[in-house]
Homo-oligomer: A and B are copies of this chain.
Amino acid sequence: MKLSRLGEFGLIERVRRATPKSRGVLLGIGDDAAWIVNETRSCLITSDILIEGIHFNLKWTSLFDLGYKTLAVNLSDIAAMGGVPAYLILSIGIPPKFDSADIDEFYRGIRSLAAKSGVALVGGDTSVAAGLFISACLIGHAPFRPVTRGGANQNDDIYVTGTLGDSALALNLLQKKIKQTARRPFKYLLSRHHQPTPRLTAGAVLARERLATAMIDVSDGLLQDLNHICKASGVGALLWQNKLPLSPAYRVLTGPAGVKHALSGGEDYELLFCAPKRHRSRIEKLPQQAGVAITRIGICVSRRRGIIVLDDSGKRHAIRSQGHDHFKSNNRGPR
């Protein structure tokens, strides 16, 4: 059914009906505000906007995946604080050409990941718009002291979960229209691009056990996000290029780009964190608990050394901030 026939209130009613009841939600979609009861008075709040033509391209992104990713990127922010996600507020601007079935697909993507991560959709707003955009706000509980970007100390180890560069390499291949959709490595990269896995368990364990001194999720690229930690903590960083965790699919398909996407690609949604050396043995045991590999990739150094990448031949590269900035000219075009 065309949205122009369904109407704004018809759409809201449709979303409300498809939304399961959740503990803690006294009043969900459909009144002036949602009414919830938090588990703790201490809350985390994060928010992300996704805009057609800037953050996603509907040529290669299904609406299901778009819904999934919308929630995933917000969950990743809560994970990076060591929090527990709870309530989602989802606003959406929709071009009138869309059909209600398209929007159902989007919400199906949202619900799929919401069910897995214990998140309740409690409200939002809808409007017509020239291009599709989504604005999500996610509220989480903070049962443990949140891990900020600002607590890293000199000589702390630097770790990252999972593998880097998969998502950016997938996007790069999509943008170049390289036809290799049949190849299994490409399918793997695509799944990493379209349905990133927020590292909620890893984040929560690191916060609960007070292992991490600083943490961020890698959304704008490893170097850029590491730079955020360095600036907030007043440290520099030395990275070993040969320690960067790369997936087999990435190694097969990267070609002459090498580690470029892993260093500054973005949209990895892995956790980058720092921890004192004395916690090494405990962190080595974490992957089993957290269900994700954790790799030591560098060490915090003095602030005045900035960020240095040591390449395979032992050569040092001083790095100026790189990665994604929406207003600056390094815009990589629609993802």
Contacts and interface: CB of A to CB of B under 8 A. Distances in A.
Nearest to A24: B41
A148 interface: yes
Contact of A80 (B32, B37, B96): B32
Contact of A3 (B7, B45, B139, B327): B327
A38 B36 contact: no
Interface residues of A, number: 75
A41 to B, nearest CB: 5
Interface in A80-126: 80-81, 83, 87, 89, 91, 93-94, 96, 122-126
B127 A47 contact: no
Interface stretch (A129-137, A156-164, A295-303): A129-137
A18 to B, nearest CB: 18
Interface of A: 3-4, 6-11, 26-27, 30-49, 51, 53-55, 77-78, 80-81, 83, 87, 89, 91, 93-94, 96, 122-131, 133, 135, 137, 139-140, 142, 146, 148-150, 215-217, 232, 325-329, 331
The 4 A-B residue pairs with the shortest CB-CB distance in the complex, in nearest-first order: A135-B135, A33-B46, A137-B137, A32-B80
